[in-house]
Structure formats: structure tokens, C-alpha cells
Chains A and B, each alone.
Chain A
Amino acid sequence: MSAAEVTAVPEGRGGRMNRAQIVNAALALGLLGFGLVAWAMGETFLVTLATKVAILAIAGAGLNLVLGFGGLVSFGHAAYFGLGGYSAGILAHHALNYTPMFEWPFLFEGTTSMPVIWITAMVIGALAAALIGALSLRTTGVYFIMITLAFGQMIFYFAISWPAYGGEDGLPIYVRNGFPGLNTLDPVQFFGLTCAVLFAVLGLIAMLAHSRFGLALQAARQNRQRLMAVGIRPGGVLLVAFVISGAITALAGALYADLNRFVSPSMLSWHLSGELLVFLILGGTGRLFAPLAGAGLYITLEHLLGGVSDHWQFFFGLLLLGVVLFARGGVIGFLAGGKRHG
């Protein structure tokens, strides 16, 4: 969804879908359909793969809010993803080992309830994003990229050197956490839950993009000077977007930890930050469904190329280089036409 699309849509009277909306619907149905068909055919592994796509798409959607709409190139979003993962891992660790997490001011024994874990993950992600964002947003451009990368790395090294929760070896979650009314151990039920979260997040971002806040956020990407001149401080708008973004990406991290039943510092690694950026450019920067299209394409390529060569990343690197240099609209730009921004 390009900027003009995002804000122009509500002016219309609805009814006919435009091409981008058709592509978006096809992407959503494609993910659901793939997961359900795989389940019907008993291909549990493929259901898990589709779940992974949905989770990475949520993480990418968080990044898309600041990058696609706000124009901030954050190269440290693995930090929030990993913090979300560790929130899930640590809460479950205490609950499963019967070791209270803290006893003061009240006894807290950890939890294996997904809703509680999700809220915790989002709060932690939001707090970290508020701190990192407040410092990083003092700068712009290439400084911002380097600083977000550096702070992400700081949390990565902290996780490695802090021995209490597994350090370098990571932390297992012996039993996938539960959600009221669902059997999360059943792959298709967990897949459905994940898709529900994904579509809720995409809906939230669409709503934000259309709101007063979204208008200011998209203006901050295009022209900060002009935003100041109409009486709106870009710093506050961008920081709020950064905090929401951190919370969303942390939520994805909590889900990812439950998918793998394992958390490790690799969730915090800068490669992951890079991959999240890659999803967005593969999908088509600034479009609402870019993270889903990009994550889907990435996982598909990993699966297909990875089957052919151990060195699939070599070929993926060449492909990515080609996309950046010659095909800047990404998948959705290719399918839906129209120009992208940024």
C-alpha cells in the first residue's frame, strides 16, 4: 500500500477493490490456504513452515510501521524480536521449573499462558524501543542506521554473556505455552492462532496509517521540515511509531519462541535485523502486505534453494542484489503496479 493508497482509500465510497487490494487478499488467502491444504494432506512440516512465515510477517509488519510509513531505517529490530522471545522463554522457564521469578513485592512464578506472555513481551519491547528510540532519534540518516544496529548488538552480547538464562546456549521451552480454548500443540491450531494475530496486526497498522497519527508519520518520512512548519514535531510522532513497532516485533518474537520451543541469542542477531529489512524490500517497501509477501518469498526460497545447495545464501545474495539494483518495487510492486515511495 503506497502512501497515496493508504490515505486516498477512505475518500472513495468503497465497493470495487483496486489491484493492490486484490493482491493483498490473494496473499492472505494464499497463506491460509497453504497452511490448511498442507494440514489436510498431513504435511505437518509445511504447516509449521507457514506458521513461520506468518510470525516473520508480524515481525516485519512491526518494522514496516517505522520504515515503510515513517522512513526510519532501523537496523536493530532483532532486539525487539529477541526480547519478545526471551519474555516467553523466561516466563515459561520459571513456570515449568517451579522456580519463582521473584517473590517481592508479590510471589510471581512465571506463566505458560500466551496472552500474559504476549502482553509482557509487548511491554518489554515497547520499553526497549522507547529507550533506544529516544537516543537514536536524536540523529538521522546513516547515523540512525548504525546506532540502531549497535544497540541491537548490545542486547545480543548481553544475552550471550548473562548466564542465568542459558547464555550462548539459549533456553528451551519444554512444552509450548497455552492459549485458552485452544490446543496449541496441534500445529494447525497454532497456525490459525498465528494467522489471527497477523491479520489483527495488519489491520491495526492499516488503521494507524489512515489516522491523524498516520498522516503525520507519513509526512515525517517525506519532509520533516514541513511537518515542523505546520506545528507538528516529527520527533514525538516517530518515537511513538518506534514504540508501537517495537511492541509488535516483540509479540512476533514471543510467538517465534513458542514455534521453536526454544530461545537463543540468534533471535537477537543482526542477521535477523537484516532479514527483516530484506522481507520489506522483497515485498515492496511501504506497502501494508510487504512483510507477508517478503517473508513468504524468503522462506520459500530458503526451502527450495536450500534443498538444492548448502550454499543457498550465496544465490540468495545475488538475487537480493538484483532486486535492490534493478527491481525496486518488490513483489507487490510487480504484481500490483503503481509506484512505491521512499
Chain B
Amino acid sequence: MADPILDIRGLSKSFGALKATDDVSLDLRPGEIHALIGPNGAGKSTLIKQISGEIAPDAGEVVLRGRSLAGIDAAGRARMGMARSFQVSSVAPEFTVLQNVVLAAQGASGATFRFFRPVMRDAGLLQTARDCIAQAGLSGREAVPAAELAHGERRKLEIAMALALKPALFLLDEPMAGMGTEGATALGDLLDALRHRAPILLVEHDMDAVFRLSDRVSVLVYGRVIATGTPDEIRTDREVQRVYLGEEA
């Protein structure tokens, strides 16, 4: 088996008496989509934030391509290829689609403190940005301000920005949220293609999408991973059925 891209070892985080993350270990291997599911309040967002570096864990570590990320902040992790989307779409609303993606390409280049040349005439950044926009399926929308995009388009813009980061992996926090069936299917197809660029850790509530797309699924309940396995294994797992799918079954 190939070495994992991302390896999470014994991650724990408490807020007061609440154990939001309780000794979580999981990994992400090349080419896979690893879905993270769990009921509301299970601690998915807290876990994602510890991986992305927005909050520091109390114990445990996050390892990217064999290198511990302890002490590296969110910006540093992004530059190492940790490409993240947010639960609520997070883009620069006044910038156009192109400007947003150029910003991401600029971030990946690591050279921000340049004061003279116009950034929107930087052929290298523009080329990268246009490629990523095309791959995310937003061609033709380059000049539209992000604030005027439809919800699904803004999701695609986040994907384009993630692509511009030369991702080692994608951390996608509920990308399907708020999308219609058609949009979710289209986005699912996009994610399916993306896994070959970099593996995806996918937090998602849309169970159809999760079971259709994922290679592996981990179930998080009260901050603990209660099961990890293929979609079929998870579907038939007793404990998962009891505590999680049980509400619907």
C-alpha cells in the first residue's frame, strides 16, 4: 500500500468539559476520497480546523507526506498544498472569479511582497488561474464578481482556488451543502475527477454522494471515530447502524 499523504495520529481537543475531538486517528491515501460523516455536533468541523491549522490540538499530530505539521499555521499548511474549502463558501466577494483564483495562485507561489508589477498582467499567474477555472467548470465566468455568482458557482470557485494551490490534498467541508440534486451530481462528478490530482478528505451530509464517491468512510460520533471502512462495510456495520444510521432506519 502506498504511503498515506495525510496521517492523523491521536488528535484530541477539548473545550472545557466537552471533548470535541477524542483520540482521532485516520489517514488519506493517494487517489482516494475519504469521507468523514457523523451527526451534527460530532466534531467534524473542529477536526477539519485542527488539520488545516486554524486551531491547535491539545494532543496528537497531523503529518503531511511524512512531515509533522506541529507549529505550522494555516497559511503555512496552505502553502504546503493543503487546499481547503469552507462549510460556508469563503471567497473575496468583491473580486472577480479571475482575481480570486489569481490570489490563490499568488499564495501558492509564496511571493506576495512584490509592489511594482501589476498582478493582473502576470502571465504565469493568469495562465495557472485560467487553467484552474476551466478545470472547475467556470470558464466564461472569469470577469464576474464573486458576490454575483450563484451558490453552486461559488462552490466551484472554491474548488478552482484549491486547484491553484497545487494541492497535495483537498479538505472539503460540506461542498454539497445547499445545492440542488442536479448541482450536487455535477459537483460529485467534478470531485470524482479531482481525486486523481490529489486525494480528498470530504466532510459531507449528503449520504448518496458519500456512498457513491468514497473509497473509504470514517464515522465520527461525539469526537470519536467509531468505524472506518469501505462504504459497504460502513453500511453493514452494527454500531454505525445503531448510533448513526439508526435514526433513519
Contact = CB atoms under 8 A, between A and B. Distances in A.
A341 B147 CA distance: 12
Interface string B85-107: 01000111111101100111011
Contacts of B110: 231
Contacts of B99: 7-8, 215
Interface string A242-285: 00000000000000000000000000000000000000000000
Interface stretch (B69-77, B205-213, B226-234): B69-77
A231 B108 contact: yes
Nearest to B93: A222
A219 B93 CA distance: 9
B94 A341 contact: yes
B90 A7 contact: no
A225 B75 CA distance: 10
B17 to A, nearest CB: 28
B2 interface: no
A216 interface: yes
A227 B118 CA distance: 19
B9 interface: no
A230 B94 contact: no
A10 B121 contact: yes
B103 A215 contact: yes
Given A7-B99, A226-B90, A226-B91, 8 more contacts: A4-B94, A211-B114, A211-B117, A211-B119, A222-B95, A223-B92, A226-B86, A232-B103
Contacts of B90: 223, 225-226, 229
B106 A214 contact: no
A207 B86 contact: no
A334 to B, nearest CB: 20
A157 interface: no
Interface bracket on A:
20 to 34
Given A208-B115, A229-B78, A8 B102 contact: no
A222 B78 contact: no
A215 B119 contact: yes
Contact of B75 (A11, A211, A232): A232
Nearest to B142: A11
A124 B116 CA distance: 24
B91 to A, nearest CB: 6
A156 B8 CA distance: 53
A211 B117 CA distance: 6
B84 interface: yes
Contacts of A229: 52, 74, 78, 84, 86, 90
B118 A225 contact: no
B145 interface: yes
A214 B52 CA distance: 25
A233 interface: yes
Contacts of B104: 230
A87 interface: no
Interface string B118-135: 111110000000000000
B15 interface: no
B92 A218 contact: yes
Contact of B108 (A11, A211, A230): A230
Contact of A7 (B75, B79, B119): B119
